[in-house]
Chains A and B, each alone.
Chain A
Amino acid sequence: MSGNVLLEVKDLKKDFGDHAVLRGISTRICQGEVVAIIGPSGCGKSTFLRSLNLLEAPTGGSVIFEGNEITAPGTDVNKIRQKIGMVFQQFNLFANLTIEDNITLAPVKLGLMDKEQAQKRAKELLGRVGLPDKADAYPAMLSGGQKQRIAIARSLAMNPDVMLFDEPTSALDPEMVGEVLELMKELAADGMTMVVVTHEMGFAREVATRVMFIDEGVICEENTPREFFEHPGNQRLQEFLSKVL
C-alpha cells in the first residue's frame, strides 16, 4: 500500500439532475495497487470509475492524477486520458476497423508511434493476450472473451499508468470469464495499477490489494481483501456479501 499516490479523489460528487449519484467520495490509489470496487447495481460504481478519466464530468470535488488536478478548468483531458486506460463491459472495439487497426489507431493518430512501430507493438500485444493470429480479423468475427482481450491490448498499446475496468466480464458467457480474468491477473502481477469494478468476488479476493464497497454514492467500507471478506464491519456490506457469496 506504499508507493506514490497515482490518483487522489477528494470529496467527489456527481448529480444527474436532482439525482445525487456520488455523494462525496474520497480515496487514494497508489502505484501498483489493484483496487476492486463492488456494490449493488445502480449504486454509482460506473459513474465513479468514469469520473476518474472524466467521461463523466464531476459536479463537485476533485480528481488529482499524477499530481495534477484534472478536474480543474483548462485541463487537457485528451492528454490525461492517454495515460488512463479504460476497458468497458461491452468491449467497444471499433467495429469498422481490423483488430490491428483497433490497437494502432490511437498511438498513430496521437503521434506517439509511427505506423510501423505501432504494428510491431500490436503484434507483441496480440501475442501477450494470446491472440496472435487475429490481426486482420474484424471485431464481429470474435467471441466475447476474445473481444475483451483485444480491448485490453488496445488499452495497453497506449502504455497507460493506470487501467480502469468497468465490469469487464459481466457481458461474457461463463466459459469465457476465466480467460479474461487470467489476463487481468497477469497484468496485476506485472505491476499495472488497476481499478476494477467487478462482481467476481474470487478475483477481488485473490488479485485485489484492496476492496472497496460503494453504496448509495459513498464508500461504505474499504479494506484488504482478507479483512474485507472475513470481517466486514458495515451492515449493508454484510447484507450484500450474504447475497453474493
Chain B
Amino acid sequence: MQNFIDEFTLNFIEKNRYQYIAEGFINTMIISLFAVLVGIAIGFLVAIIRSSHDKTGHMKAANFICRIYLTVMRGTPTMIQLLIIYYVIFATVNIPKVFVAVVAFGLNSGAYVAEIVRSGIMSVDEGQFEAGRSLGLNYRQTMQFIIMPQAFKNVLPALGNEFIVLLKETSISGYIGLTDLTHGGDIIRGITFSAFMPLIAVALIYLLLVTGLSWCVNKLERRLRVNER
C-alpha cells in the first residue's frame, strides 16, 4: 500500500506532474470535439452529393472528387495522413499543432461519416421519397424533411461508434509532437521511469470518456426511437 502511494506521488503529485495529463486531456478533448464537427460537416456534405448523384445523375464532377477523397482517406493509414498534413501540407506555415490535428482527424473521420450517412440514406425506403415528391415537394425538401431525419436515426449507432473510434485514434497525435492525453502520460513515464501508473491512468480516462460517450449515444437513440410503437 505504501508502495502504491509512493508511486502515485512520484508520478502525479511531485513537481505537479499531473499537469502533463491535464494538458493532454484538454488537447484530446479539443481535437476530438472539433474533429467530430468537421467530420460531420464533411461527411454529410459528401453523403448528400454522392446519393444525389446516384438518384438524379447530376453533379458528376463533385461526385468524382468525393470518390477520390473517400478512396484516399480510407485507403491510407490515419497516421500517415497526420504526418503528411503536418510535415508536407502545413510544412512552411506556422500553425498550432492542435489545429493541424483537427484538420487531419476531421478529414479522416469525414470519409467514414460520409459512407455511414450514405448507407443510411439508401436504407430509407424509396417509397418515402416518392411520396414526398408526389405531393409536390422538391428534391431538397424531400431530403430535408423526410429522408435525412430517418437516415440519421438509422445510422446513429454507427455514427456513435465512429466518434468513439475517432476519440481513441487521436492518441497518435504525439507523433507530431503534440501533448495529447496519451503523449502526456508518456512524458511522465519518460521522467519517472515507471510505466504502470501513468499508462493505467491514461487508459482509465479513455475508458471513462468512451463509456460516457456510449451512454449519451444510447440515450439519444432511445429518445429518437419513441416514434415507433
Interface of A toward B, CB cutoff 8 Å: 53, 55, 78-82, 84-86, 88, 90, 92-97, 105-106, 109-110, 138, 140-141, 151, 154-155, 158
Residue B14, interface by CB 8 Å = no
Known contacts being A96-B146, A140-B227, A140-B228, is A88 close to B135, with CB within 8 Å? no
| Contact assessment for A55 and B133 in the assembled complex, using a CB-CB cutoff below 8 Å | yes
How many angstroms from the CA of A173 to the CA of B155 in the assembled complex?
Answer: 32
Q: Does A81 contact B146, Cβ atoms closer than 8 Å?
A: no
Complex CA distance for A128 and B133, rounded to whole angstroms: 24
Residue interface mask B123-156, A partner, CB < 8 A = 1: 0010110111111111001000110011001000
Q: What B residues does A90 contact at CB under 8 A?
A: 125, 127
Assembly CA distance A95 to B132 (angstroms): 12
A96 to B125, CA, bound (A): 12
**Which of B131, B138, B145, B153 makes the CB contact (< 8 A) with A78?**
B138
Contact B135 A158 (CB under 8 A): yes
Interface of chain B, main secondary structure? helix
When distances are taken between beta carbons in the complex, the residues of chain A under 8 Å from B136 are 78-82, 106, 110, 158
Residue of B nearest to A102 (CB): B131
Q: Is the CB of A96 within 8 A of B227?
A: yes
Which of A85, A109, A138 neighbours the largest number of chain B CB atoms within 10 Å of its CB?
Answer: A109
Give the CA-CA distance A138 to B150 in the complex, in Å. Answer: 13
B149 touches A106 (CB 8 A): no
Q: A88-B131, A138-B227, A140-B227 are in contact. Are A94 and B137 (CB under 8 A)?
A: no
Per the bound structure, the CA–CA distance linking A138 and B66 in Å amounts to 36
Given A109-B141, A140-B227, A81 and B135 contact (CB-CB distance below 8 Å): yes
Of residues B130, B133, B135, which shows the largest number of chain A Cβ atoms within 10 Å of its Cβ? B135
**In the docked arrangement, what's the CA distance between A143 and B145, Å?**
24
Of the A-B pairs whose beta carbons lie under 8 Å apart in the complex, a sample of 13, sorted by A's number, is: A81-B133, A82-B136, A84-B134, A85-B134, A88-B130, A88-B131, A92-B130, A93-B131, A95-B228, A96-B146, A140-B227, A141-B229, A158-B136
Docked CA distance A225–B141 (Å)? 41
Of A78, A88, A97, A106, the contact of B127 (CB 8 Å cutoff): A88
For the complex of A and B, 10 pairs with smallest distance between CB atoms: A82-B136, A92-B131, A92-B127, A106-B135, A86-B134, A81-B136, A96-B149, A140-B228, A138-B227, A96-B150
A5 to nearest B CB, angstroms? Answer: 22
The answer for the CA separation of A158 and B136 in the assembled complex, in Å, is 9
Report the minimum CB–CB distance from B197 to chain A (whole Å): 50
Partner of A109, one of B125, B134, B145, B227: B145
How many B residues face the partner with a CB closer than 8 A? 21
Q: How far is the CA of A231 from the CA of B153 in the complex (A)?
A: 55
A203 to B51, CA, bound (A): 41
Q: Are A53 and B134 in contact (CB under 8 A)?
A: yes
Closest Cβ of chain A: how far from B56's Cβ, in Å?
12
Residues of A within 8 A of B131 (CB): 86, 88, 92-94, 151
User: Are the C-beta atoms of A138 and B135 separated by less than 8 Å?
Assistant: no
What mask results when residues 206 to 229 of chain B are scored 1 for a CB within 8 Å of chain A, else 0? 000000000000000000000111
In the complex, A53→B128 CA distance in Å? 16
In the complex, chain B residues 153-190 whose Cβ is within 8 Å of any chain A Cβ: 153
Residues of A within 8 A of B135 (CB): 81-82, 105-106, 110, 154-155, 158
Find residues 111-133 in chain B having any chain A CB closer than 8 Å to their own CB. 125, 127-128, 130-133
**Which residue in chain A gives the minimum CB-CB distance to B153?**
A96
Query: Given the interface contacts A95-B128, A140-B228, does A55 sit within 8 Å of B134 by beta carbon?
Result: yes
Interface string of B54-88 (1 = CB under 8 A from A): 00000000000000000000000000000000000
Contacts of B150 in A (CB 8 A): 95-96
Contact A110 B137 (CB under 8 A): yes
**Complex contacts, B145 vs chain A, CB 8 Å:** 94, 105, 109
Question: 6 other contacts beyond A85-B134, A97-B146, A106-B137, with CB at 8 A cut-off?
Answer: A78-B136, A81-B136, A94-B128, A105-B146, A110-B135, A138-B229
Taking the nearest CB of chain B, how far is it from the CB of A158, in angstroms?
6
Cβ–Cβ < 8 Å partners of A106 in chain B: 132, 135-137
In the bound assembly, the distance between CA atoms of A158 and B145 in angstroms comes to 17
Q: In the complex, what's the smallest C-beta–C-beta distance from B63 to chain A, in angstroms? A: 21
Minimum distance in angstroms from A20 CB to a CB of chain B: 22
